[in-house]
Structure 1
């Protein structure tokens, strides 16, 4: 089980069936950030391939069968010591309750179980709450990187070094309950 989730929340690995339910919460959870362009951008950042190919390194948190939070992450194919959080979201009604932190901690544990000790992620410069969250977790933020994801798609990048533990971390599946 993912540690430290509030009562009534359950976690599991992402499945392909989660694609449309996750897309359905994006505009509401992001409060219309960047208007219609932001809505399109968020949807394009989450194609089905993430829900098909990164299930063992990604999570969904549910409450009463509904999506309450998610984290889509993967292990870098190019940089053997690196893992990447591609997209994460938490229902605003659950902000400040440790759900995001619990998802990231579970992802960090998976990354470490595969020998990854560096985690990266990005957010838009307009998303100040995401920036503050990542800094609170211990990430180091970059300056705004113009056109990082294409023309007009500026980003702030984040990185964190995970501790190198002499004791092997158990396989990722042990971080979720049955």
Structure 2
């Protein structure tokens, strides 16, 4: 399913029963980013439907004891047959720097490419500079927007009033893995 995954972790497709497990780690993994509003926003971004209807294009990584290590929720666009979308990704901060997110992304890239998808899209919040740097290292390009703090192009109200986003795109046909 995924090549070069860090030793000691297993990867599988998520299921509806994993929904509560993922929601339970979000605040801790994001270090309370955004306070109570950020907590609510993260929970609302991951309804159960992703675990029910997009499991075949998503991944969940676990430690040998079954504890959650990481997840990637992605899907293939129903509107554009050349696009796949990475909706939400998380890695336990204790495991950062081990290549887990990169392996999950590459697994998704390979699956998308095998299904004829040429482009990967995703977003992050303007304040998540670690995510912005990570996507840049993988070859994603930030789409044009209004210049925000730190000179990052922001799409104002992208996910609703006050929910600005940095929007990324990756051309799989031009991809060169770091």
Give the TM-score of the pair, scaled to structure 2: 0.90
Q: Which residue of 1 aligns with 2:52?
A: 52
C-alpha displacement of 1:3: 1.7
Unaligned 5+ segments in structure 2 are: 144-152
Aligned to 1:37: 37
TM alignment of 1:81-92, pairs within 5 A: 81-92=82-93
Instruction: Please show how residues 1-12 of structure 1 align to structure 2 within 5 Å.
Output: 1-12=1-12
Q: How many Å separate the matches in 2 of 1:147 and 1:20? A: 28
Which structure is richer in relative contact order (CA contacts within 8 A, separation 6 or more)? 1
Displacement of 1:163 in angstroms is 2.1
Equivalences, count: 164
Residue in structure 1 matched with residue 164 of structure 2 by the alignment? 154
Residues in 2 aligned to 1:66 and 1:7: alpha-carbon distance in whole angstroms = 15
* Structure 1 residue ranges without an equivalent (≥5): 165-178
Deviations 1:40-89 (A, max 9, x none): 00000000000000010000000020110000000000011000000001
- The RMSD of aligned alpha carbons is 1.0
Query: How does the TM-score come out when normalised to structure 1?
Result: 0.90
What is the aligned partner in structure 2 of residue 120 from structure 1? 121
In structure 2, what is the Cα distance between the partners aligned to 1:13 and 1:113? 17
Q: Aligned to 1:40, what secondary structure does the other structure show?
A: helix
| CA displacement at 1:6 relative to structure 2 | 1.8
